């Protein structure tokens, strides 16, 4: 028996029985209800993971049943069953909390794919709840892991499965997505959690300094080395060493890191003694390491050593379901930090935050909301408290909005000048903005407006 309890809510007996027989054969646990009232009675007294809910029924219709089910138990997934001509009402139901819809006549292959997807989602939810309990036991608060999107749920689930192993992990993602947070999560869920987690930004130090930072040095190894220094590999013994921006490593440091990954041993700068350290390596990059390998800037053998398990953190623009919970967290945090009672956002401010693409990802959203809390005049964050309000206003104060030959000619010229500036700047936004006399945010808006990709 598959671990999914399904309730079929359908007033037509033959349709109801046909669905039950099919799902029974597929191994699901199935119950029936002939109308909305009977369905709600069962929902109150039994556990269900999924409702297959007919939209059009005598008495309570599907929308009414959906809202009441979500009031009783918001965790139940609801799939609306609707005739082809009423898809618009099914879309309304999805806005009210339904997971999906399926049209009559029902294709069994389509139904099975949908039900299997719900089953996989329920497994993921259960596993993530277990992960949350483990994290709480380890002292990891919900402040550190904030998400509601399926994409982040799957990533955190992967972190839980990877944590118990000794495998090296490569975390990919744009700047500001939370790569170090993911690395810390893997460490905290691992058997190494009681040992150190040491983070090193490989792009922030010169080659010689980075080599000393990682491997340590002996007294007299170079000018200024007046005492022996223990490196990060030794400090992280038994724990985890997080190498952020690993794509910036010089060829010399790449060779030493490769040797460690192969032999689990290293030498301090200026030393002859071979040292060993039990360290798990987690690395992160916002660059495409495969491209770096093809360019000859990154060793292929090191890439494969680091690339055993890959975790890709999606950019915030691809997981906008996370924005409301992140906003709520940051407003509460910065409100408390600044001694302000912040109740929430105005409708216009909400819309602006949801429309924005966040090239700086979660870090940028955090900065935007910290600024908004600091300058807000009252308990509600307004649109004028957000720094990109003007970016979303296409009509100038002098009435330049609308269509016409003058406006089109001006836009053609503007687009051509932007393209020329981008070419002169080699695609670098900051340099192109300086050429054009714009700030970087306005240039991003113009690039989006004209469909220009850097």
Average pLDDT over residues 218-243: 86
Least confident of 126-140, 213-227, 250-264, 321-335: 126-140
145 lies in a domain?
Answer: no
Residues 366 and 278 both lie in one domain: no
* 41 vs 440 pLDDT, higher one: 41
Residue 182, domain member (yes or no): yes
Verify that 193 and 324 share a domain, yes or no: no
Residues 290 and 158 placed together within one structural domain of the fold: yes
Query: Cis omega before residue 256 (within 30°)?
Result: no
268 and 414 belong to one structural domain: no
Of 312, 336, 351, the last residue of a domain is 312
- pLDDT at residue 114, rounded to an integer: 85
Residue 285 within a domain? yes
pLDDT-wise least confident of 23-27, 144-148, 231-235, 363-367: 144-148
Going by pLDDT thresholds of 50, 70 and 90, the confidence category of residue 449 is: confident
Residue 378 covered by a domain:
yes
315: pLDDT strictly greater than 90? yes
177 and 202 together in one domain: yes
Residue 368: domain span = 317-392
Give the model's pLDDT for residue 306.
95
Q: Please indicate, yes or no, whether residues 240 and 348 belong to a single structural domain of this protein.
A: no
State the CATH number of the domain containing residue 57: 3.40.50.2300
139 domain-assigned: no
200 and 345 co-located in one domain: no
**15 & 88 share domain:** yes
Total domains in the chain come to 4
Residue 2 confidence (pLDDT):
63
Q: Answer whether residue 37 is part of any domain.
A: yes
40 and 176 share a domain? no
Mean pLDDT, the chain, as a whole number?
Answer: 84
**Residue 4 or residue 406, greater confidence:** 4
User: Per-residue pLDDT averaged across 217-246, rounded?
Assistant: 87
Confidence of residue 141 (pLDDT cuts 50, 70, 90): very low
- How confident is residue 292, by pLDDT bands cut at 50, 70 and 90? very high
CATH of the domain at 217: 3.40.50.300
What's the CATH number where 419 sits?
Answer: 1.10.10
Per-residue pLDDT band for 394 (boundaries 50, 70, 90) equals very low
Statement to judge: residues 325 and 383 lie in one domain: yes
What's the pLDDT at 143? Answer: 46
Q: Residues 43-52: pLDDT tens digits?
A: 999 999 999 9
Instruction: Name the band, by pLDDT with cuts 50, 70 and 90, for residue 127.
Output: low
Are 228 and 331 in the same domain?
no
pLDDT digit string, tens, across residues 263-282: 999 988 888 889 999 999 99
In a domain, 98, yes or no: yes
In a domain, 43, yes or no: yes
Same domain? 328 vs 235: no
Q: Which of 80, 106, 132 is the last residue of a domain?
A: 106
């Amino acid at each position: 028996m598959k671990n999914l309890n399904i309730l079929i809510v359908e007033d037509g007996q033959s349709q109801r029985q046909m669905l039950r027989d099919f799902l029974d054969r597929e191994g699901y646990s199935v119950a029936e209800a002939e109308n909305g009232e009977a369905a709600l009675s069962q929902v109150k007294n039994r556990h269900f993971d999924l409702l297959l809910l007919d939209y059009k029924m005598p008495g309570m219709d599907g929308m009414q049943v959906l809202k009441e089910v979500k009031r009783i138990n918001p965790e139940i997934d609801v799939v609306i069953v609707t005739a082809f001509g009423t898809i618009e009402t099914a879309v309304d139901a999805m806005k009210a909390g339904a997971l999906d819809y399926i049209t009559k006549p029902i294709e069994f292959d389509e139904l099975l794919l949908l039900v299997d997807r719900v089953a996989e989602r329920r497994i993921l939810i259960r596993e993530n709840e277990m992960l949350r309990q483990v994290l709480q036991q380890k002292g990891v608060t919900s402040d550190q892991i904030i998400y509601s999107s399926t994409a982040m749920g799957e990533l955190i689930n992967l972190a839980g499965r990877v944590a118990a192993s000794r495998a090296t992990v490569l975390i990919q993602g744009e700047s500001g997505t939370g790569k170090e947070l993911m690395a810390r999560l893997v460490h905290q869920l691992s058997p190494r959690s009681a040992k150190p987690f040491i983070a090193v930004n490989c792009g922030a130090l010169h080659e010689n300094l980075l080599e000393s930072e990682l491997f340590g040095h002996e007294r007299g190894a170079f000018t200024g080395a007046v005492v022996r220094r223990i490196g990060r590999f030794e400090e992280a013994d038994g724990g985890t060493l997080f190498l952020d921006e690993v794509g910036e490593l010089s060829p010399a440091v790449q060779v030493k890191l490769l040797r460690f990954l192969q032999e689990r041993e290293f030498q301090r700068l200026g030393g002859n003694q071979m040292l060993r350290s039990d360290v798990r390596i987690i690395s992160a990059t916002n660059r495409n390491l495969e491209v770096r390998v093809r360019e000859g800037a990154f060793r292929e053998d090191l890439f494969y050593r680091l690339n055993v398990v890959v975790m890709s953190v999606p950019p915030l623009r691809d997981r906008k379901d996370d924005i409301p919970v992140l906003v709520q967290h940051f407003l509460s945090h910065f409100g408390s930090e600044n001694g302000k009672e912040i109740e929430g956002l105005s409708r216009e401010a909400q819309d602006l935050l949801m429309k924005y693409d966040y090239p700086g990802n979660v870090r940028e959203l955090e900065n935007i909301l910290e600024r908004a809390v600091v300058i807000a005049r009252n308990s509600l964050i307004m649109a004028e408290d957000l720094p990109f309000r003007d970016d979303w206003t296409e009509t100038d104060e002098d009435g330049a909005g609308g269509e016409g030959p003058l406006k089109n000619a001006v836009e053609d010229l503007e687009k051509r000048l932007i393209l020329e500036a981008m070419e002169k700047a080699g695609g670098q936004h900051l340099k192109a903005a300086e050429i054009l006399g714009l700030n970087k945010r306005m240039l991003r808006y113009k690039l989006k407006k004209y469909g220009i990709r850097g």
